[in-house]
Amino acid sequence: MRKYWWKILSILLLAYAVIGGFLLPVPRLPIVHESIRNLYFHVPMWFTMVVLFVISVVYSVKYLRSNHLKDDLYALCFASVGVVFSIFGMITGMEWAYYTWPADTQEASFLWTGDPKQLCAALCMLIYLAYLVLRGSIADYDKRAKISAVYNIFACALMFPLIFIIPRMVPSLHPGSDGNNPADPNHLDATMRMVFWPAVLGWILLSVWISTLLIRINLIAKKEIIYADVS
């Protein structure tokens, strides 16, 4: 019980988010209407991705200090699950924008709107996909771990301006630019806050759970490499 209470918490929070997210009242807004409920699902995907990438870079730094391949494996697994959640965030964002953003202000009414937020998020995803490609291109375990750990630090340093800074400096249809500040605690409606933050925590805990499963499988599958190398 002491070890997996957070997994139960994650299930409870997400069950609350799924049921409360659809049934609790939301403000009546123009254009987006009921689709504002997507906030409980689209935004936590990106929050989760950021948290996973930060955990990943912590383990990369830990690897550079310890030279234990176990730390490198942790960094890889958290980054991989982070990429999965970024794909979810991107697809849900494209779907939401397709049905709510006015088509006549865009060059084409298509899933890819070319919005700055979308472009920067896609760049961030490409940087992390390059991390996975880089890993696959080096055969030597220690060299692979060291080079990818250094690359991971650069990738994480690039993620913050790409997700949080650049999209807010240019005109964008995505909320968060043009002077409104989502970090303001009063920015979000009070009822929505009661669902949104539990949902964020629930998704983060679920993603960590999935990451630990991936780590444990790999610790078993690669045990000869990982435990033979402790120097």
DSSP secondary structure string, 104-137? GGSSSSSS----HHHHHHHHHHHHHHHHHHHHHT
Nearest to 206 by CA among 85, 101, 123, 116: 85
Q: Residue 14 or residue 155: which is nearer to other proteins going by CB?
A: 14
Distances (CA, A) of 102 to 105, 109, 137, 139: 6, 8, 43, 49
Q: Which is nearer to other proteins, 15 or 103 (CB)?
A: 15
Shortest Cβ distance from residue 213 to other proteins (Å)?
Answer: 5
Quick one: 169 or 213, whose CB is closer to other proteins? Answer: 213
Provide CB contacts within 8 A for 217, sequence distance 6+.
none
When the beta carbons of 14 and 121 are compared against other proteins, the nearer one is 14
How far apart are CB 154 and other proteins at their closest, in Å? 32
Residues that bind other proteins (CB under 8 A): 7, 11, 14-15, 18-19, 22-23, 206, 209-210, 213, 216-217, 220, 223
